[in-house]
Amino acid sequence: MQKLIENSPIKWHHILFFSLLVAIIPHTGFWFDLNNDWPRWSAYALEHGLSQIYNSDTNYMPIYLHGLYWFGKLHGTKELIYANSYQLKYFFLLFDFAGAIAIAYALRKYYTRQFAEYMLLFNMGYLYCTTIWGQLDSVPTTIVILAIICLFERKLLWASLFCTLSIYAKLQAIVFLPFFAILLVYQLSVKFDKILILKILAVSIIAQLILLSPFILGGTFSNFLKVVRESVGFFPRVSVNAFNIWYLLLKQDPTSINDTLTFAGLTYKKWGFLMFFALSAITFLPLIINTLNTILSKKSLDQDYYALLWLTAATTAIVFFFVNTQMHERYSFPAIPMYFAYSLLTNRYSIFALTSVAHLMNVDGTNKYLGLNPYKPEFTAIIFGIILFLSLVRLYKGFKFKLILS
């Protein structure tokens, strides 16, 4: 038992620090979610049952709704749900800790720095969304991180579970599906196993059935599909407080411009998609070529590949946030822990630090709780542009297009 505790990634100081944060984080947050939507949906599920929650005005994916249902069951009454809605922060904080600890533990053989996870857990840019804003971005981000780690380490059944859960936590996680596919192709090239493939599919299907069964049996599955269909276009603005490229391209405030307006024959929304897909292709190319060469040369995945993987993932998160329309201020969050993983593998921390600062400037520049960003949004947008540029430079430094054919 003592050996099990010693080998556990969760240490006493993690529990102590988590308890400290629970004691001191404010009970306030983004009112429309923390004190309005979430307790209302939780109370609705308590009164009508989880199976009927999609008959409310919710536009969230199933994992959160399962959580809100049990949050309501835990408190038992509508009054207690509203009075204690701030406690949802504690649940989200678990995922902040899980993401930081998972990265530090999974990469521990590649670095010597002690207590590395506290570079995230003492990082206000990383914790702000949960502790101050009261948002849940750490949930899908941590699930994506766990999926990437499991795929790299060939824990493919766990990877299948986390890949599936990531989509049902937040639909935007779909931008990371190429990573899952690329790593899966490599792992299956090492050892192709039909039974394993069937098990992978089975895990994914079972997880989906568990998540969706209340709505299928309750007759509200069509409402869930409607939420999925309408998730793109729910906030038809060029920016929803994301300090990104649109603040540099447009003279008017992007939050006041409908993204269905046209420029040069295309809507702003489509221009965002074009930039996203073009930059994504540029971002993914080194990883794809490197993976193919690794397969053809029959080599094992090494530290350099792992660093390239995390750098590509982080850059993709920045690209998604920086050029698309309808982006919220929090959508650069996944890049912070991913750049952190890259930093641990390379001992290069500049982009990680810069992203932490830029993200904090954006979320507090919108929320204004701490008053940390007195500058115009354009200044933060320039920093994000620099982050993207530096990331692409790192991706292509020493990169060769040549495939190993023998």
Output the pTM of the full model.
0.94
Centroid of chain to Cα 1: 34
Per the CB < 8 A criterion, the answer to whether 166 and 145 are in contact is no
Residue 3 has pLDDT above 70, yes or no: no
Provide the token pair at 373: 């960003």
Domain boundaries, the chain: 26-125+136-231, 233-406
Q: pLDDT tens for residues 295-348?
A: 999 899 999 999 999 999 999 999 999 999 999 999 999 999 999 999 999 999
Listing DSSP states for 89-107 in one string gives HHHHHHHHHHHHHHHHHHT
In this predicted structure, what is the pLDDT of residue 5? Answer: 57
| Residue 108 main-chain phi, psi, to 5 deg | -60, -25
In this predicted structure, what is the pLDDT of residue 314? Answer: 98
Q: What sign for the dihedral angle of Cα 375, 379, 380, 386?
A: negative
Q: What sign for the dihedral angle of Cα 314, 319, 321, 327?
A: negative
